[in-house]
Amino acid sequence: MGSTSTKGFSRRGSGSRNNVLVIAGHDPTGGAGVVADAQTISALGAHPVTLISAHTIQDTQGVNSYQPVPPELVVQQLETLKADMEFAAVKLGMLANKSLVEAIVPVIQSLNTPIVFDPVLASGAGDSLSDDGLVEVLCKVLLPQVKIVTPNLPELFCLTHMKAQEDDAAEKTPDQQKAAVRKLLEGGVEHVLLTGGHAKSKDVVNRLYPADKGYAWPRLEGEYHGSGCTLASAIAALLANGVSIEYAVEEAQEFTWQSLVGAYRISSGQSIPLRIRR
């Protein structure tokens, strides 16, 4: 099909993109959350379809509070979209409360498409983004459905200890980390990409399991907001475009690292990754 022109507008309708369903929080600064996800997914050639799980009150210095969106509203929107279109991948970020997880999981499961989960429980500065009981429901209901989960060290130990806060995660030995990852895999997750941003090593080393493959990236100076969102969304976009999990994980890390290299500031706080590079 070519383009048609109506009243001076040129309409092109011949292209198609693979849809990635995103359910995540809204960070109005655009550093993290659905804006970050939508930028990443668009930049990688897929189409983001975004549902907001919670509105956060935050600036580039930190998160003050958040307000979850009622689960019925999210499910109603999800069912409406499901009736209208197909999804090639799902990306889940901040889910904020357990009733939302319980409400969306059956619908998402019925989409029969790979789920990428960034287990957001707190902001980079440590402000809580989850309610009591969320972690337990995530482990029991969501994780068994997930293709790949992308925890950082504190998130890994929160998930395996079923608690919302984990202060000494950076002190855990490699054996303790491996045992925790094994627990997630035994719980039904297909792949775990453990991210190393919180470790004290010179390079940031991320590790994919069960492949047990490491990826080292030079640690960049400064503080960034939304690197985890960028990484998980990039994996989802690449999976939606049909590549293997190993390739998606590698390319998504490259995309994220380049976004951090090009990061820019909109105020005196944390930098925003540059995801749209044209």
By the criterion CB under 6 A, which residues form the site for ligand PLP?
24-25, 27, 32-33, 56, 58, 63, 93-94, 120, 123-124, 129, 225-229
Cβ closer to ligand PLP: 62 or 82?
Answer: 62
Cβ closer to ligand PLP: 109 or 128?
Answer: 128
Axis crossing angle, helix 71-84 with helix 98-109, rounded to the nearest 10: 10
Cβ closer to ligand PLP: 210 or 271?
Answer: 271
Single-letter residue type at 194: L
Smallest distance, Å, CB 258 to ligand PLP? 16
Element (H, E) at 237: helix 227-240
Residues 102 and 87: their CA atoms lie apart, in Å, by 20
Cβ closer to ligand PLP: 10 or 275?
Answer: 275
Smallest distance, Å, CB 6 to ligand PLP? 38
3-state secondary structure of 180: helix
Strand 148-149 and strand 191-194: pairing?
parallel
Smallest distance, Å, CB 23 to ligand PLP? 11
Task: Give residues with Cβ within 8 angstroms of 241, minimum separation 6.
Answer: 18, 44, 45, 46, 88
154 closest CA partner among 138, 172, 141: 172
Which residue's CB atom is positioned nearest to ligand PLP? 25
Cβ closer to ligand PLP: 67 or 182?
Answer: 67
Single-letter residue type at 195: T
Smallest distance, Å, CB 199 to ligand PLP? 15
Smallest distance, Å, CB 228 to ligand PLP? 3
